[in-house]
Chain A
């Protein structure tokens, strides 16, 4: 069974940093491009980052470019999202996805 399990969310203050993880199982992680997508409370879906299967290419939404970094460790079947200079508007559920399956999400709340 394909599974994606996110972790690392929490309550942080504006300007803080946080690193999210997504552990994959049930498929060949190293063969798939991986995404981070977020959903603010009661809002729609916003794609924020993509990393190719071999980390050769990374793409970001303008809203997070320069502040967030996507990375992966294929030896650990793990995807990461490093988030710096967090703002209140970054408050959301953060999902990882392999293009087919999504995880259950991890909640990030940015508030003073």
Chain B
């Protein structure tokens, strides 16, 4: 199984600050035939189901604010929120869909100071 490791487990920032969180996979998520990374980022706000923010490591879903930026390739990936807003309070999960079983990281909890 592909192991997904997210760091940090939690982080507290002030509104307006930039935040980055990391996701590392135990094997490459880059499929050579189409040059795509099979990596997604989800946001789960308190009491809600997860919402897909980014797929293919860097493609924002429709309606997702452009302050959410996904980057990385191979085994190292980053989610950046360029200017955190109060409504970004949530747990952020990365997920690999390169192979079954699909696997998730343990999440990064974002708290707003």
Contact = CB atoms under 8 A, between A and B. Distances in A.
Interface in A28-50: 35, 44-47, 50
A10 to B, nearest CB: 19
A47 B103 CA distance: 6
Given A44-B93, A45-B93, A100-B61, A95 B104 contact: no
A79 to B, nearest CB: 15
A3 to B, nearest CB: 12
B100 A50 contact: yes
A44 B104 contact: yes
Nearest to B49: A102
Given A44-B93, A44-B106, A45-B93, A59 B52 contact: no
B106 A104 contact: no
A50 B102 CA distance: 9
Contact of B51 (A50, A102, A105): A102
Interface residues of A, number: 18
Contacts of A44: 93, 104-107
B101 A103 contact: no
B74 interface: no
Contacts of B72: none
Contact of B52 (A50, A61, A101, A105): A101
Nearest to B40: A99
- 10 tightest A-B CB contacts, nearest first: A47-B102, A59-B100, A45-B104, A102-B49, A61-B101, A44-B106, A100-B52, A44-B107, A102-B50, A104-B49
Interface of B: 42, 49-52, 55, 61, 93, 95, 97, 100-107
Given A45-B95, A105-B49, 5 more contacts: A45-B107, A47-B103, A59-B101, A61-B101, A100-B55
5 contacts: A44-B107, A46-B104, A47-B103, A59-B101, A102-B49
